Structure 1
Amino acid sequence: MKIKHLTFLALALTLGNDNLYAQKGKPLFTEQPGMVSYTFRKSLSKDAAATLDTLKGLGIKDMEFSSLFGKTAPELRKLLDERGIKCSSFGVGYADALNKTQEVGQNAKALGASFVRVAWIPHEGPFTLEMAEKTVADFNKIGKQLKDEFGLTFCYHNHGYEFEKHGDGTLMDYIIQKTDPNYVSFELDMLWAFFPGQDPAALIRKYPTRFKLVHMKDLRKGVKGNLSGGTPVENDVALGTGQLDIPTILRAAKKSSIQHFYIEDESPSYATQVPQTIAYLKSLTY
């Protein structure tokens, strides 16, 4: 029996190695990345149609909007449809998600989105357990209404301050574990997980079914992080030129429930950095 067991183990290891060799050299990121509207916020505010033409030229077909840029949702949807671009996620403020859930749901549906996202929990000073408890209750309420009435998935986008220590983990762990997975999912922001000292890939592996969306961004080399949830926008750099281990994060993401991969670059240099980022993603292999 022992010999048979060892033979089986050797066979399994061999097959595993063959699998690794078979993957070696294959493209890691085969999707066309999506784009967060905030990257092109100034341009979209001035001329949405021309900016969407630029995005189409870059090959972007998937967007996350966090503003309607002075238009109605149907007007913005028309511009997107004309260019073959889809809005998969609609970002709103915490207060609107909580107090104008109906309006938010209607706008998201008009845009053609499947997700509604909140990226900031209003707070002053360090993020506390009491704040996290209120957040959990609010998110469960928002998520249930959006799911029941509109068939939408509600997501929370981490921003760094939620990684205050709590028990054996952090308050981000508390929020993930205490929210109802039927109604609340998450959008991982790579930079805002790394900045407060976390490992984005490990976070995905810890909660493989809770993250549905991801913001792909990199942090300038030499910049030290903290729990503030803020850093100058100039510290956003093209993927692959900063501190994050992008390939490892993407490998973890590929094995998770993440469905949409958005580029977000808040830097004023986005016009040169975005094409650089797209080229970098295409260059990655296993």
Structure 2
Amino acid sequence: MKKIVFSLYLATTMALGVTDSFAQKGKPLYTFPVGVQAYTYRASFPKDVIATLDTIKALGITEMEGGAPKGFTEAEFKKACDARGIKIPATGMGYEQIVKEPMEAVQKAKALGASFVMVAWIPHQKGNFSLENAKKAVEDFNRVGKTLKENGITFCYHNHGYEFQPYQDGTLYDYIVKNTNPEYVSFEMDILWTQHGGGDPVALLKKYGSRYKLMHLKDLKKGIKGDLTGGTPPENDVTLGDGQVNIPEILRLAKKAGVKHYFIEDESNKEYEQMPKSIAYLKSLKQ
């Protein structure tokens, strides 16, 4: 793992140098801390948590969305991250778990130093997300979100693409946003899954603006036509800027909407190759 960390450092330096040489002049578009979703390193954390955190630090990442890995308590994991200058502003929890034990989510978030708890999947029959599923989620989210807010934590729902099932003059995603209480329920936009599900990240940011508090940065391979399954092969997750998602415009609108935390989530099997390039791409963008 140490060799990997050093290789990543060299790769990042080279990628930044190459990208900067072609960057347009002007002020940086991306001005927030570079964050990562812990799922990016799902293959590495089980092998060596500390070496993986060193890898993340070597990339210049200072924020992470995630929870304590196996073998670590939340307090122990926070201490290891703190020692490397990595904050954990957001963590995740499963739908069934948070509905059953919302205070457990509060306790875990506070132990990690997180201000946000997100849920990334609503249980449903694959490819057939229904109005009944959406109605139940709205009811549960409003209740759970109220409990979290009363305890100083913001609840966010992270879309996965299947929510863009047509409904009335919009989609079931619109139904969820419109029927959840803005006081208790916020959103994390995953820009790849939005695009893959047939949604328009730019249009949604214009439409719902301040409802978005968090964002997953990822790109969908050009030529890939999405669907409503909420899934796509790992090879369709490409380096930021190499795919079909309009990342510069999304970042402009997200900043305007007030999104403060951005997490690169690389679901490919080439995260060690792609992460340095994705970070370099973000830093190359100009206003």
Instruction: Check if 1:258 corresponds to 2:259.
Output: yes
Q: Residue 177 of structure 1: CA displacement?
A: 0.6
Alpha-carbon distance in 2 for matches of 1:110, 1:68:
14
Alpha-carbon distance in 2 for matches of 1:66, 1:192:
22
Identity %: 57
Match of residue 137 from structure 1: 139
Alpha-carbon distance in 2 for matches of 1:92, 1:83:
24
Asked if structure 2 preserves the Cα contact closer than 8 Å seen for 1:32 and 1:59, the reply is no
Q: Residue 191 of structure 1: CA displacement?
A: 0.5
Match of residue 231 from structure 2: 230
* 1:160-189 C-alpha deviation (Å, 9 max, x unpaired): 010111111111011001001111000000
Q: Residue 117 of structure 1: CA displacement?
A: 0.4
Match of residue 116 from structure 2: 115
* 1:167-223 C-alpha deviation (Å, 9 max, x unpaired): 111110110010011110000000011012221011011001100000000011121
Match of residue 100 from structure 2: 99
Asked if structure 2 preserves the Cα contact closer than 8 Å seen for 1:209 and 1:257, the reply is yes
Alpha-carbon distance in 2 for matches of 1:71, 1:137:
33
Asked if structure 2 preserves the Cα contact closer than 8 Å seen for 1:35 and 1:63, the reply is yes
Structure 2 counterpart SS, 1:44: coil
Alpha-carbon distance in 2 for matches of 1:70, 1:122:
28
Counterpart amino acid of 1:72? T
**Which sections of structure 1, spanning at least 5 residues, go unmatched?**
1-23
Counterpart amino acid of 1:169? G
Structure 1 counterpart SS, 2:133: helix
Which has the higher mean CA deviation after the structures are superposed, 123-132 or 151-160? 123-132
Structure 1 counterpart SS, 2:108: helix
Q: Residue 266 of structure 1: CA displacement?
A: 0.8
Alpha-carbon distance in 2 for matches of 1:30, 1:105:
29
Alpha-carbon distance in 2 for matches of 1:206, 1:134:
23
Alpha-carbon distance in 1 for matches of 2:201, 2:70:
31
TM-score, L = length of structure 2: 0.89
After the TM superposition, which residues 150-189 of structure 1 pair with which residues of structure 2 at under 5 Å, given as runs? 150-189=151-190
Alpha-carbon distance in 2 for matches of 1:88, 1:32:
11
Q: Compare relative contact order (CA 8 Å, sep 6+) and give the higher one, 1 or 2.
A: 2
Match of residue 198 from structure 1: 199
Counterpart amino acid of 2:182? P
* 1:26-57 C-alpha deviation (Å, 9 max, x unpaired): 21112232000000111112111111111111
* 1:117-136 C-alpha deviation (Å, 9 max, x unpaired): 00000111411111111000
* 1:247-284 C-alpha deviation (Å, 9 max, x unpaired): 11111111102110110001110101000000001111
Counterpart amino acid of 1:258? V
Asked if structure 2 preserves the Cα contact closer than 8 Å seen for 1:161 and 1:229, the reply is yes
Match of residue 279 from structure 1: 280
Q: Residue 80 of structure 1: CA displacement?
A: 1.0
Alpha-carbon distance in 1 for matches of 2:48, 2:69:
12
Asked if structure 2 preserves the Cα contact closer than 8 Å seen for 1:38 and 1:66, the reply is no
Larger radius of gyration: 1
Counterpart amino acid of 1:134? K
Asked if structure 2 preserves the Cα contact closer than 8 Å seen for 1:45 and 1:70, the reply is no
Structure 2 counterpart SS, 1:248: helix
Asked if structure 2 preserves the Cα contact closer than 8 Å seen for 1:25 and 1:285, the reply is yes
Q: Residue 67 of structure 1: CA displacement?
A: 5.3
Structure 1 counterpart SS, 2:189: strand
Cα distance change, pair 67–119 in 1 and its aligned pair in 2 (3 A): farther
Alignment length (residue pairs): 263
**Which sections of structure 2, spanning at least 5 residues, go unmatched?**
1-24
Structure 2 counterpart SS, 1:228: coil
Structure 2 counterpart SS, 1:268: coil
TM-score, L = length of structure 1: 0.89
Asked if structure 2 preserves the Cα contact closer than 8 Å seen for 1:67 and 1:92, the reply is no
Match of residue 149 from structure 2: 147
